[in-house]
Amino acid sequence: MGGSGEAATNLAAYGHGMRRTTGTTEPIAEAAARARIEEVGAGQFKAAVRAMWALGDYHTFAKELVWDLGPVLVEACGISAGQRVLDVAAGTGNVAIRAAATGARVISSDLTPENFEAGRREALVQGVELEWVEADAETLPFGDDEFDVVTSSFGAMFAPDHRAVADELLRVCRPGGTIGMLNFTPEGTAGEFFAVLGRYMPPPPPGALPPVLWGSEEHVRELFGERVAKLDLTRQEYVERSSTPIDYCEFFKRTFGPVVGLYASLADQPDQVAALDRDFLEFATRSNRGAPEGPAEYHYQYLVVVARKRGD
Ligand SMILES: C[S@@+](CC[C@H](N)C(=O)[O-])C[C@H]1O[C@@H](n2cnc3c(N)ncnc32)[C@H](O)[C@@H]1O
């Protein structure tokens, strides 16, 4: 992390883009969006996003709050021994390690290889073997039809070019194979969480689509279109817990890269830091569904996507 300027750039994709909970899904708009992202320098943008997700301690964050969800996607996709599985934007292996535990042959890929070491340690503890490969979800370094199952839990949704991601997930999956995703919905607590943080972030690069659009059934149907023979879309909910709303905020400030980066970007603006602290805590207090005596509980809605690629 090279100072507050860089942190601000890193956060661009998570700023106004997160705030837009509705957005156009017209192919023309998306094509234009892609072109504009290319203009501002895709390589530079991706390097900044990678640096952001390397901040904090993603594995500690994941183990505490989202680790129960990896098995949800493994089960939804029916992953089993002998299958070739690619997990995209895998973080430290939430889905990938669980997929490997079934006996599947798994590649865990992510834009941010800085987090692989924690994933390797976790895999060792779990007694499973898998491969770790640096990869951008928009340009996967794998051949056509290579995998029986391609997964992504709360990961590929963060790449700005949704059409490119959908194309790549489909391309590397064999005909008749399965593509599975867990994506936050625009309407739920995640939409509010990102909206609060978005107030303090610089605008995203022109054309970046909001990640939570991947939680809209209509958007997913439009992206996969006729290329899938079957598409199951189910909304579900999971709960994050913390002793108190203050502890919840502090945990994010310590472990979750985008939040760590946001605070770093504001370090020379104490008024902004104080305002963000206030808004973040207000969100954590307002969204708490736990009993008054605690713990604090946050209910997050997500979309389970299970698609079968046409053509077997
Ligand atoms: C919230 S984490 C989810 C990680 C993991 N799937 C899990 O369930 O714990 C988001 C992940 O997306 C990755 N990511 C963001 N943009 C990406 C991109 N364009 N291509 C691949 N990975 C990306 C980040 O590096 C990060 O590991």
pLDDT value at 2 more than 50: no
What percent of the chain is predicted at pLDDT more than 90? 82
Q: Is the CB of 137 under 6 A from ligand 1?
A: yes
Q: In a 3-state reduction of DSSP, which class is residue 235?
A: strand
- Which of 10-24, 40-54, 84-98, 191-205 has maximum average pLDDT? 84-98
What DSSP designation does 208 have? Answer: P
User: If pLDDT is split at 50, 70 and 90, which confidence band does 41 have?
Assistant: low
Residue 52's closest CA among 262, 298, 295, 273?
262
Max alpha carbon distance in the chain (Å)? Answer: 59
pLDDT in tens, 115-129: 999 999 999 999 999
pLDDT value at 188 more than 90: no
Rounded mean pLDDT of the chain? 89
pLDDT value at 14 more than 70: no
Asked if 230 and 298 count as a contact pair (C-beta separation under 8 A), the reply is no
Asked if 30 and 162 count as a contact pair (C-beta separation under 8 A), the reply is yes
What percent of the chain is predicted at pLDDT more than 70? 87
Q: What is the CATH number of the domain that holds 174?
A: 3.40.50.150
**Tokens at 255, concatenated:** 């472990």
User: Of all protein residues, whose CA lies closest to atom 22 belonging to ligand 1?
Assistant: 89
Which domain range does residue 87 map to?
Answer: 4-309
pLDDT value at 20 more than 80: no
| Mutation pick for ligand 1 pocket among 59, 107, 111 (CB with most ligand atoms within 8 Å) | 111
Q: Is the CB of 30 under 6 A from ligand 1?
A: no
Q: Is the CB of 155 under 6 A from ligand 1?
A: yes
Three-state SS annotation for 55-113:
CCCHHHHHHHHCHHHHHHHHHHCCCCCCCEEEECCCCCCCCHHHHHHCCCEEEEEECCH
pLDDT value at 200 more than 70: yes
Residue 215's closest CA among 245, 197, 230, 236?
236
**Tokens at 7, concatenated:** 């942190």
Q: Is the CB of 74 under 6 A from ligand 1?
A: no
Q: Which helix (H) or strand (E) covers residue 296, if one does?
A: strand 296-309
Q: Is the CB of 122 under 6 A from ligand 1?
A: no
**Tokens at 95, concatenated:** 């889905």
Taking the model in full, what pTM does it have?
Answer: 0.90
pLDDT value at 138 more than 50: yes
Query: What is the count of structural domains for the chain?
Result: 1
d(CA 126, CA 165): 30
Q: Which residue has the tokens 């023979």?
A: 229
Atom of ligand 1 nearest to the CA of 69: 8
**CA-angle at 93, arms to 142 and 172, nearest 5°:** 20
